[in-house]
Amino acid sequence: MGLSIVILAAGEGRRMKTDKPKPLVNLADLPLVQYPLNTAKALKPERIVLVTGYKKDEVKKYVLENNAGDFIFCEQKERLGTGHAVKQAAPYLPDTGKTLVLYADVPLITTASLNKLIKSAQRKKISILTSKITKPKGYGRIIRDEKMNPTNIREEADASTQEKTINEIFTGIMIADNEFLKNGLKGLVRNNKAGEYYLTDLVEYASKRKLPIGSTEAKELEVFGANNKKELEGLYNAMVALNIDAAKKKGTFFKDTSTCYVEGVLKVGKDVSIGNNVTIKGNVVLGNDVSIGSNVILSNTKIGSNSTIKEFCSIEDSKIAENVEVGPFARLRNGAVLDSSAKIGNFVEVKKSRIGQNTKANHHAYIGDANIGKKSNIGAGTITCNYDGENKHKTKIGDSVFIGSNSSLVAPLKVGKKSYVAAGSVVTSDVPAGSLAFGRAKQKNKTNWKKK
């Protein structure tokens, strides 16, 4: 089955009180439209068509600059409803295969739910995604016959008092045969209170022709949308709840879920423990028996098994191997790599550097643009002076090196294996292997000193 995906991304978002088009309003650290784009790409369709409208050039620019692959863009010049929006995409769809309709402002739908929907449509012209929600006001209600087959979707404005008591709603997401979809779109009319072309009328179109209509159900949290900042906050909370629930099902222990925020994609091994006040962003992978202390921020980071991240650490864009200890109060960023059994202690910052196996920097150090070998010790107060005011330079430290406390290593610099740097040194030239380097003023003591 050839699959096409249409993403409706024409919204203005006036109630958001923003100058941005609605698809580019941020949820956590990503624009709303990025979430259905990620989901769509995971389904590996033959084509993705985005229906844009308000500030269409900004939406197109974002999509192309932040996503690999080919995309088709079309414009909905008038806001005449969801049916009208999909109609703009119809010329870009093949006559065969199926088309899945997604929404830029319904970002939390999962690939699991969509795969179920796609499967349900294998022998049907159309299949819809529904959900049973606690507050159905504002949504189209699912009308079913005596055999519980869906026959219609009644929009809120057109629903009777009895129909408004139905809590099963249409999420807006559907999949249909392309031939059926194109013919159905041609037959849509605007004889409703909103004066719009409803995509939902395709269900009635199929029912009147006695065509079987499929349906699957998604969790309530997956189908939340947002029209204002208050609803956006609810959407954020729903996203966090879904992500935490998924991690808990894999066996992760959260000390206090009410203070933890899993905003991105979290992959966990067995026996992971996460403290309170932890924020997880982007793509984070935690191996088996990983312990994350309280007040930690993780972003786009992989942490190997049996590693411990102590309290008050900030780790972004980093890779940590197994049996590593970090913190408390440490910062790793911009491509920091810690090999197995390394240790980064309190008030140490590592940027764009590799820390070798069994190497330690226990406290108060800055390691930037450096490559440090195995079994080395970086003393307290050590700084790699990597910036000369115009350019960044590399520091290379070999295996089994001892850097004394309060040392300044002025890059570009090489410190050979099994060498020593005396405490308090300012090192400006390479240190040969097996050498002792010291670069500090000779101490002078003035006896019988008196304060003037």
> Which positions are catalytic?
363
> Rounded to 10 degrees, what is the CA torsion of 131, 264, 50, 223?
10
343 CB-side CA count, 13 A: 13
My answer on whether omega of the bond before 212 falls inside 30° of 0, hence cis, is no
Taking alpha carbons only, the member of 250, 167, 240, 150 closest to residue 204 is 150
Cβ contacts of 14 within 8 Å, gap of 6 or more? none
* Structure tokens, 203: 């269900």
Collapse the DSSP code of 7 into the 3-class scheme (helix H, G, I; strand E, B; otherwise coil) and give the result: strand
Residue with the two structure tokens 């319904």: 106
- Specify whether the CB–CB gap between 307 and 325 falls below 8 A: yes
Cβ atoms of 242 and 222 within 8 Å: the answer is yes
Alpha carbon distance 267, 247 (integer Å): 7
26, amino acid identity: N
Pairing of strands 402-403, 377-378: parallel
Q: What is the dihedral of CA 233, 236, 237, 238, to 10 degrees?
A: 120
User: How far apart are the C-alpha atoms of 449 and 159, rounded to whole Å?
Assistant: 95
- Angle, CA 4 vertex, CA 49 and CA 50 arms, to 5°: 10
Output b/e per residue, 227-254; b: 16+ Cβ within 10 A: eeeeebeebbebbbebbbebbeeeebeb
In which region does residue 282 sit, left (phi positive, over 0), alpha (psi from -120 to 50) or beta (all else)?
A: left
The closest of 71, 70, 73 to 85, measured between CA atoms, is 73
Question: What pairing do the DSSP bridges indicate for beta strands 3-9 and 98-103?
Answer: parallel
